[in-house]
Amino acid sequence: MEESGKISLELCFGTTCFVMGASKLQDIESFIPPQYKNKVDVKAHTCLDLCKNSTYMKAPFVKIDGEIISEATVEKVIQAIERKING
């Protein structure tokens, strides 16, 4: 959780993540349900360095409050946000 009390959503747009599907996450903000929008802080990174170990096949990576989601899709990310908010 950020100091602001918001959930931190970090997207990786490094080459590996982008090629393996992060391009689909570029519009993620428009998929966040309106009631949660002001509760999520979205940050884009050039590379989160998660692909550097041998698990690169699990890209694209996303971090939600530091927790890593691998093979991230819009659905997975939105579900994780809802889980965080609703406990």
Partner 1 sequence: MDNSNTTHLKREVLVRLIKAYINQEMKELYKLPFEMRPKNAEVPYRCCIYKERAILRQRAIAGLGLSVETDDEMTSLTQYGQQAIDREKPDEEILTVVETACKGCVPSRVYVTELCQGCVARPCVSTCKFGAIQIKDGKSVIDGEKCKNCGMCMNVCPYSAIVRLKVPCEDACPVGAITKNENGHAEIDFDKCISCGACVGACPFAAVHEKSQVIDVLKQMKAGKKVVAMLAPSVVGQLPVSINKIAQGLIKAGFDEVFEVAYGADVTARTEAVDFKERMEEGHEFMTTSCCAAYNELVDKHIPEMKPFRSETRTPMHYTAQIVKERYPDSVAVFIGPCVAKRKEAQKDEYTDYVMNFEEMGALFVALNIEVAHLEDYQFADVASKEGKNFAVTGGVAESVKVALKDFPELFPTCVNGLNPKSVRDLKNWAKKGQCPEGNLIEIMACEGGCVAGSACLNNKRITTKKVQEYANAAQCINDLPDIELKASK
Footprint on this chain of partner 1 (rule: CB under 8 A): 13-16, 18-21, 23-24, 26, 46-47, 51-52, 56-57, 59, 71, 73
Rank residues 69 and 73 by Cβ distance to partner 1 and give the closer one. Answer: 73
Rank residues 51 and 64 by Cβ distance to partner 1 and give the closer one. Answer: 51
CB 44: neighbour CB atoms within 10 A? Answer: 13
Q: Find out whether 17 and 63 touch, Cβ atoms under 8 Å.
A: no
| C-alpha distance from residue 26 to each of 11, 21, 54 (Å) | 9, 10, 25
Rank residues 13 and 65 by Cβ distance to partner 1 and give the closer one. Answer: 13
